[in-house]
Amino acid sequence: MAVTFTSVLASIVCVAVLRWAWGVLNWVWFRPKRVERCLRQQGFAGKPYRVLVGDWKESSDMLKEARTKPIGLSDAILPRVMPFLHQMVKDYGIQHVTLYYLSCRFSLAT
């Protein structure tokens, strides 16, 4: 069996595609999960990582809902201005992690 130019080229293309796919998988899944695991070991709580969108969808939905309600002069401002942060502090405490897309945001509320 002779090695032809097309078989060598096909092998190189296949290796390049697999390498690219591994890089994308590492960027989208493995690295965020690794960061999440490290943060949990350090005592940060939060919602689990969701591919690409993270907590963005829930955060934007809560903000839209908060903007539809009227606010009184004696009402608390934080649940209206930053409803997702307020909910995360209530659920997970003052040290928590919020995941937006592929990045983490730490919140140390006082």
**Per-residue pLDDT tens for 18-70?**
999 999 999 988 988 898 899 889 988 888 888 877 788 888 999 999 989 88
Q: Return the pLDDT at 20.
A: 98
Quote the pLDDT of residue 23.
96
Write phi, then psi, for 76 (nearest 5 degrees). Answer: -70, 140
Q: What is the pTM of this model?
A: 0.69
What integer pLDDT is reported at residue 51 of this predicted model? 82
The residue type at 28? V
- Count, residues in the chain: 110
The predicted structure's pLDDT at residue 7: 92
